[in-house]
Structure 1
């Protein structure tokens, strides 16, 4: 529960209906996706391939078809890893897997996914008709932590949390979903796991230094996302990736910008307890949900919230525009890797 700038209560619509019934997923090789689904409009493209809206012929259900091109054996292993991980992630804050098809002759795998219609969270909150307040930022952050808490209980790390991977379930409500488990890994706390991938600005210091990662690696990314959402500023961004990584390694940031003038001390404390260089000293997802800042999201709305300040999203708009440009460049590079030149 939250309030808008006028103090009216905002109800987080209940997860009363799952996206679809629980399904035992097996990779279908005897059929291709077009045998059972009607492919509709193009939705987007990433480094993996493309996504189209689709309609199941037998039920009329609308879903999303994610096509992944398999050129190298490692790419196939990576997609298989993503599929196996998603089969374990039955949770309302995480995008759900519906079916999988593989066509060896086409060198393609198609993942049928829950269709999410609300678009990226950051794209939505910068809309000129959207009123962003700190209370809404709490709601969104709380849901991200709910999804991560479940993943971590299943011993799975996301390892690529960033604004583009947080989607709104609908264009009108306030529910969000975490997507894209292409870089996710199963995690055994008794073993050492190191990775050297992720998105500049959002990766943790231990990734930059190629040290062991853990649950706290995802929580660092939550801290960065929260910082950006509240201020529109990126805490560690430099003029290039090298400078950004150097800033992350130092783990030095502040709240000196005027964008934080009206942000609560609880919110700043929440971020301070996540953007800690030593991952063992960061809050866990469970501790995040118990933090006073997020606890306010489920408390009755007091009268003073009628005077809650509206967050100026001017900086956030600039941030999103820059990210759009970066995505466009990455999409072109992905097309070149697939052998498609323009």
Structure 2
């Protein structure tokens, strides 16, 4: 479906409706061997679950703005995922509608169109017909599915070695996103997907992601106030997202890419120990605990029950247990200005040292169709 070829940064499609996607500011050049396909007509077969060249097979789950389904690209029978969403309502101009579902979808598409990396899920096609009530995003298919990290008794099911390889892939994907100016805002195990042979992990679901540039081309669309709102999964929120500001004279921390580093730390904790570090009966209690509760480290980690020596971490410095807890404590530093950086994570002894990546390429024949997202829009009469 997507064959490698050299191409420039994708240009807006020659269509009267192309402004609806391309009016969102283009970010950096997409280093992709093939541009995202933009289709502005939807064809459906009566009595069949077929949308254009994609046959819908089954439900896979849900993203931030719609359902995710598996489909097959009919000419090649390559598996894909697709999403469905509710009816559109009449649309206000984006300038007057910041924070709307429409703008969030535009932002997600713009961010994914920017990305091309071995550890980030690739957007292949956007199907957006103004006469249809849904918009569809076609993504590469990650057949291994989301990472499974615990059993029914909340015990870890991954070995420490397996966790280290997953951690490496996520660090590389996150490094790329941050270099592109993207804050993912929802790093967690369920947004990390395996390839079919489970040799590669990719970051998915950009429904609440944010990007910022030093000089945004269209300030009205670069809504920085969005970062002051909580987004993502509460168990993975960084302390700076939970801080209540008891002292009105003390400035709140600026929300930065460090929130992804914290979420990466919570993710690593989950993979190693089979549970998040904090648990509460209500979200409010959790918000109170995250900035205040000290980190507690179980004595063993991984399905292979490797010793950690707890928070004091008095193991030999060349042991994997010491490496893991040392990095974990720096990832879960409550002060974001002191939190470990991506560069420091890569240099740590916990992260496997093989960083050689294949040349970035368009998705292969075995791809995945991503969900259709709802846009607030009415069908013209």
**What residue number does 1:310 align with?**
none
Aligned counterparts, 1:161-176, within 5 A: 161-170=187-196, 172-176=197-201
Work out whether residues 223 and 271 of structure 1, in 8 Å CA contact, stay in contact via their aligned partners in 2. yes
Work out which of the residue numbers 142, 145, 164 in structure 2 matches 1:119.
145
Among residues 153, 159, 169, which one is paired with 2:179 in the alignment?
A: 153
CA displacement 1:281-325 (0-9 Å, x = unmatched): 111222211111114678xxxxxxxxxxxxxxxxxxxxxxxxxxx
Q: Which structure 2 segments of 5+ residues have no match?
A: 5-32, 45-50, 92-99, 216-223, 244-251, 309-320, 356-381
| TM-score, normalisation: structure 2 | 0.66
Equivalent positions of 1:92-103 (< 5 A) are 92-103=118-129
2:55 maps to 38
Distance 1:56 1:71, change over 3 A: same
Partner SS, residue 52 of structure 1: strand
* 1:291 to 2:353 alignment: no
Contact 2:158-2:271 within 8 A present in 1 as well: no
State the 1:23 CA deviation.
2.8
| Pairing of 1:301-316 with structure 2 (within 5 A) | none
Please state if 1:183 is matched with 2:225.
no
SS in 1 for 2:77: coil
CA contact (8 A) 2:128 2:135 kept: yes
How far apart, in 1, do the equivalents of 2:103 and 2:279 lie? 33
- Whether the 8 Å CA contact 2:64–2:207 is kept in 1: the answer is no
**CA separation of 1:131 and 1:47: change in aligned 2, threshold 3 A:** closer
Mapping for residues 253-264 of structure 1, pairs under 5 Å: 253-259=295-301, 262-263=307-308, 264=321
Q: Quick check: 1:66–1:113 contact (8 Å CA) kept in 2?
A: no
Q: 1:240 aligns with which of 264, 282, 305?
A: 282
Shift of 1:257: 4.7
The SS at the match of 2:324 is: helix
Matched, 1:29 2:63: no
- CA change 1:201–1:297 in 2 (3 A) is farther
1:292 aligned counterpart, secondary structure: coil
**Stretch moving more, 91-100 or 256-265:** 256-265
Q: 1:108 to 1:273 in 2, by over 3 A?
A: same
- Taking the aligned partners of 2:325 and 2:298, their CA distance within structure 1 comes to 11
CA separation of 1:284 and 1:173: change in aligned 2, threshold 3 A: same
* Change over 3 Å in CA distance of 1:139–1:60 after alignment to 2: same
Aligned-residue CA RMSD (Å): 2.9
* Structure 1 CA distance for aligned equivalents of residues 213 and 294 of structure 2: 30
Does the Cα contact within 8 Å between 2:186 and 2:208 map onto a contact in 1? yes
Cα distance between partner residues in 1 of 2:43 and 2:177: 30
- For normalisation by structure 1, the TM-score amounts to 0.73
Task: Measure, in 1, the Cα distance between the counterparts of 2:136 and 2:183.
Answer: 23
| 1:249 pairs with 2:291 | yes
| Whole-Å separation in 1 of the counterparts to 2:213 and 2:292 | 27
2:323 paired with 1:270: no
The residue that corresponds to 2:368 in the other structure is: none
CA distance in 2, matches of 1:69, 1:181: 19
User: Taking CA–CA contacts closer than 8 Å with sequence separation of 6 or more, which of the two structures ends up with the larger relative contact order?
Assistant: 2
CA contact (8 A) 1:19 1:96 kept: no
1:199 and 2:233 matched: yes
Between 283-292 and 82-91, the greater mean CA deviation after superposition: 283-292
CA drift at 1:39: 2.0
**Counterpart Cα distance in 2 of 1:70 and 1:224:** 37
Instruction: Give the aligned partner of residue 163 of structure 2.
Output: 137
1:219 equivalent in structure 2: 261
Q: Which of the pair has more CA radius of gyration? A: 2
Contact residue 63 and residue 115 of structure 1 kept, 8 A: yes
Q: Is residue 270 of structure 2 the alignment partner of residue 231 of structure 1? A: no
Contact 1:69 1:109 in 2 (8 A): no
